[in-house]
Amino acid sequence: MAPGNKTPLSDLEFFPPFDGFPREGIDFLKRLKRNNNRLWFEKHKEDYESVVKLPMQSLIAALHPHFQRFAPEFDINPKRSLFRIYRDVRFSKDKTPYKTHAAAHFVLRGKPKGVEGSGYYLHIEPGEVYIGGGIYMPDNDQLKKIRSAIAGHSDQFLSIVRLPKFKKIFGKLEGEKLQRVPKGYEPDHPMAEWLKHKQFFVWIEWPESKCFKENFVAEVAGVYKAATPLVRFLNEAMS
């Protein structure tokens, strides 16, 4: 059985109830896109804290009890799960200092946000909301382990990606694919098309209007619950 999520209750109770992401938060992100510089942001930092950061943290806190029911091994923490607004510009040609979206990444307890494991992602920006799960950038070792699990436990994997509810919500497994079957597997391997994958994730896109509603939490949780068998299969493969 998966261990429980040990997020302290104090980390959750500090945040007000989530009753929808505020329209003011979307407006702030629009203005930030037009004024993406440190001087403007510092002048409006309190706005960011109140209409973007705090509502996102409240949303994360509201998701915690849902995860307790279907994926309690994940760290759902308003302080750790939320991505910072500051961009890492060290290796980017785009030197604008701030992200113009709000995002969170839910990972296994003890794992950093990023590419170490399979998890869940939430992204809100003007016009669109993205929700998904899986692993976006597996390294070579992770890829080998995932492909080995797909080849060795094909029935289990297919039962996940062919489940009617999974297909209804996500359509298909997303991600870049190789042109040919990877080394170590025959070209006519029965799982050839799945083994070609270099990424393993699912996602859906909603209009921004979805996030303004109080039931946004329940709808997001429903998507995550549907993605959980895939997320868990990938993490078990990589462990």
The tokens describing 146, both together, are 């995932």
Residue percentage of the chain with pLDDT more than 90: 86
Give the HSE-up count for residue 90: Cα atoms under 13 Å, Cβ half-sphere.
1
Q: What is the DSSP string of 22-77?
A: -HHHHHHHHHHHHT-SHHHHHHTHHHHIIIIIHHHHHHHHHHHHHHHHH-TTEE--
User: For the chain, what is the largest distance between any 2 Cα atoms, rounded to a whole number of angstroms?
Assistant: 61
pLDDT at 70 over 80: yes
Give the HSE-up count for residue 202: Cα atoms under 13 Å, Cβ half-sphere.
21
Confidence of residue 111 (pLDDT cuts 50, 70, 90): confident
CB 226 within 8 A of CB 170: yes
pLDDT at 60 over 80: yes
Quote the pLDDT of residue 89: 85
Q: Is 127 helix (H, G, I), strand (E, B) or coil?
A: coil
Amino acid at 13: E
Cα 179 to Cα 177: distance, rounded to the nearest angstrom: 7
The tokens describing 145, both together, are 């382990």
Mean pLDDT on 219-236: 98
Quote the pLDDT of residue 1: 35
CATH 3.30.930.20 for domain 9-238, yes or no, is: yes
Confidence of residue 110 (pLDDT cuts 50, 70, 90): confident
Mean pLDDT on 79-89: 93
Does this model's pTM top 0.85? My answer is: yes
Bridge partner residues of 121 (DSSP): 105, 132
pLDDT at 2 over 50: no
